[in-house]
Amino acid sequence: MRPRLLGRLARHAVLIAGAAVVVVPFLWMFTTSLQTRAETYTNDSILPTSWHWENYVTAWQAAPFGQYYLNSLVMATGIVAGHLVLDALAAYAFARLDFPLKRALFTVLLAALMVPTFVTIIPAYSLVASFGWIDSYAGLIVPRLADVFGIILLRQYFSTIPVELEEAARIDGCSRLGIFWRIVVPLARPAFATLAIFSFLFAWNDFLWPLLVTNSDDLRTIQIGLSAFVGRYGTSWNYLMAGTLTATVPSIVVFMIFQRALVRGIAMTGVKD
């Protein structure tokens, strides 16, 4: 018994050391956000010793973080809604319907996954510019209304729903759209939840595309606003960390609430039997 207990302790020791490397930067961000400017250069404690919550107010007044937040929320909502509807419809067609060029179309999607964003970003940018969508919600949202990852994720899940359920509904005279809406969508709710979380995190954290298609503070998303804040207030670590923390909170909250669905999603798309 003794060696097993020792082994378990060693396992915990290594895991805790690793967890510290992960957590300390986050803790440092929190602590620094509550210090005075002088303290940020002199105080070495990793736990907060002073509690200057007003730093958050100052940071939010120094830059239009409220507007950035709103822009990110609008963009994320649009993208999540788009993925849930457009990806789901396409995924159902690939999972259940038989039509010409099905394999070819699916292969094209898989191949597109391998193409780095950089290849498509210049033409996509020119296209959006020619539509007059620079510095608009349309420019932020429309090009990302559908994505290949979501189609693959949902297709995978739809295929696991027993066909018999759908066949029974067909015999009862239900149309394909009716089957999709009344049977498949309710049964696939966990997969929709997973996709919604992935899409939200993607949209909230996205950087390069919003950087290119926004010019003004009215349309900048939180990540772009934050990176501009570094340039303007780079030496005020406390305000900078207050801004960074507020930009990070939504992702962390979503993650903590939906951790299970997220991990299940990775298992679903990562490993295929």
Partner 1 sequence: MTSPALGARPGDLGRRGGAPRRPGRIGRYRTEDVLTAALFLLPAFAVLGVFVLYPIVAAGHISLTDWNGFDPVKNFVGFDNYVALAENGEFWNSLLVTVVYATGVCLLSVVSGLGVALLLDAPIRGRGLYRGIYFLPAVTSSVAVAIVWRYLLDPSGYVNTLLADLGIEGPDWLQDRWLALGALTLLTVWKNVGFNAVLYLTALQALPASVYEAAALDGAGPWQRLRAITVPLLAPMTFFVLVQALITSFQAFDLVYVFTEGGPRGGTEVLGMLMYREAFRLGDFGGGTAIAFVTLFLVLGVTLVNWRVSGAGRSALR
- Other beta carbons within 10 angstroms of residue 58's beta carbon come to 15
Residue 74 engages partner 1 in binding (rule: CB under 8 A): no
Residue 6 engages partner 1 in binding (rule: CB under 8 A): no
3-class DSSP assignment, residue 204? helix
3-class DSSP assignment, residue 235? coil
* Closer by beta carbon to partner 1, 80 or else 226: 226
Looking at 64-188, list the stretches that DSSP marks H as alpha helix, in order from N- to C-terminal side: 65-82, 88-96, 102-114, 117-130, 137-141, 148-158, 163-171, 176-179, 185-187
Residue 17 engages partner 1 in binding (rule: CB under 8 A): no
Burial of 44 (0-12, 13-18, 19+ CB in 10 A): exposed
Sole binder of partner 1 in the list 37, 49, 66, 119 (CB under 8 A): 119
Residue 143 engages partner 1 in binding (rule: CB under 8 A): yes
Name the one range near partner 1 by CB under 8 A: 51-59, 63-71, 102-110, 157-165. Answer: 102-110
* Closer by beta carbon to partner 1, 70 or else 212: 212
* Closer by beta carbon to partner 1, 9 or else 165: 9
Name the one range near partner 1 by CB under 8 A: 54-62, 63-71, 93-101, 183-191. Answer: 93-101
191 closest CA partner among 225, 161, 216, 229? 161
Q: In the range 232-261, which residues lie near partner 1 by CB under 8 A?
A: 237, 240-241, 244, 247-248, 251-252, 254-256, 259
Name the one range near partner 1 by CB under 8 A: 47-55, 57-65, 112-120, 182-190. Answer: 112-120
Its sign, for the CA torsion 44, 48, 53, 59, is: positive
Angle between helices 148-158 and 237-270 (to 10 degrees): 40
Sole binder of partner 1 in the list 62, 73, 121, 185 (CB under 8 A): 121
* Closer by beta carbon to partner 1, 14 or else 168: 14
Residue 201 engages partner 1 in binding (rule: CB under 8 A): yes
Q: In the range 215-234, which residues lie near partner 1 by CB under 8 A?
A: 223, 226-227, 230
Residue 92 engages partner 1 in binding (rule: CB under 8 A): yes
Contact 216, 63 (CB under 8 A): no
Residue 100 engages partner 1 in binding (rule: CB under 8 A): yes
Sole binder of partner 1 in the list 53, 104, 116, 162 (CB under 8 A): 116
Q: In the range 145-184, which residues lie near partner 1 by CB under 8 A?
A: 145-148, 151, 175-178, 180
Chain centroid to Cα 99, Å, comes to 33
Q: In the range 31-70, which residues lie near partner 1 by CB under 8 A?
A: 32, 41, 44, 46
CA–CA separation, 50 and 40 (whole Å): 11
CA–CA separation, 262 and 243 (whole Å): 26
Contacts of 78 (CB under 8 A, 6+ apart): 137, 140, 141, 145
One-letter amino acid for residue 60 of the chain? W
Query: Which pair of structure tokens corresponds to residue 267?
Result: 């298992």
- How many residues appear in the chain? 273
Q: How far is the CB of 210 from partner 1 (least distance, A)?
A: 11
Q: How far is the CB of 218 from partner 1 (least distance, A)?
A: 20
